[in-house]
A and B are shown apart, each in its own frame.
Chain A
């Protein structure tokens, strides 16, 4: 069975709603040249096609489906603000986000992605007012994959609030965090003691001391090292500042 929407150029946002029982199937938005929002989460879709070269889409929300294969090349989505593809079966590597300067939210959690995470603070946007990094990014969710290597330095992510990178195989961290950061879940990785200490140091240096009700750092779980004596002292500083901290 086929649903058609005509004329596609008159449609600027599509919310698929929820099908009961779930319809599955394939969505194709290649003719929707003026589309700004596509929200088709939770329908067991096996394919969503035709969005990756659309420069007008700002919100792509296709979580909790049955999407598989590599995440398409989204560098042509120059207006993209929210990219939700969590809880699918995507494979391959983290997408190239060097063409998406307006990103506010990226969530690729609970897929089957591998490889390393990009050094997002070092991504350059020539001609922009800020140069490097993502000035509007508030959520960087990569949890529940098989990423290896380093947690990215967040020095050029000035509005970041949520860094959810738990349940991967990450080992390292060197860098800094913004004062805005309030939820850091990096539990159940393979973080070295140096990485654990560096995360604690970066949060102490960020010096968040207000609005601490939701300030949580989880650096424990299976695989991560315990902090050193220096790290424990840093942890105590964070707790005194109002952070809820979990370590091994």
Chain B
């Protein structure tokens, strides 16, 4: 068994890892919003984030949004 402790720059091959699971449990990063799988066409609108530096949103369906400071949106249709 491998143990990651205070790991940084986690990669799978040459690809940056965006999530780390232990079995089916997400252990990194901490989930911001957890919900049941949405019906097709479900939308999030009017969302925004204020950032002090760049950040990344993983919207759970394979969509990765790279966000720039000072504000950005994660509006999305599932």
Contact = CB atoms under 8 A, between A and B. Distances in A.
A pairs with B? yes
Interface residues of A, number: 33
B6 interface: no
Interface residues of B, number: 38
Nearest to A25: B35
A58 to B, nearest CB: 12
A17 B44 contact: yes
Interface stretch (A3-11, A144-152, A160-168, A220-228): A3-11
Contact of B35 (A4, A5, A12, A24): A24
B45 A20 contact: yes
Given A1-B36, A4-B32, A28-B32, A15 B46 contact: yes
B44 A18 contact: yes
Interface of A: 1-21, 23-31, 34, 36-37
Interface of B: 18-19, 26, 29-39, 42-61, 69, 74-75, 78
3 tightest CB-CB pairs across the interface, nearest first?
A25-B35, A17-B47, A17-B46
19 contacts: A1-B37, A2-B26, A2-B33, A4-B32, A5-B32, A5-B49, A9-B52, A11-B50, A13-B50, A15-B48, A17-B46, A21-B38, A21-B42, A23-B35, A24-B35, A25-B33, A26-B34, A29-B32, A31-B29
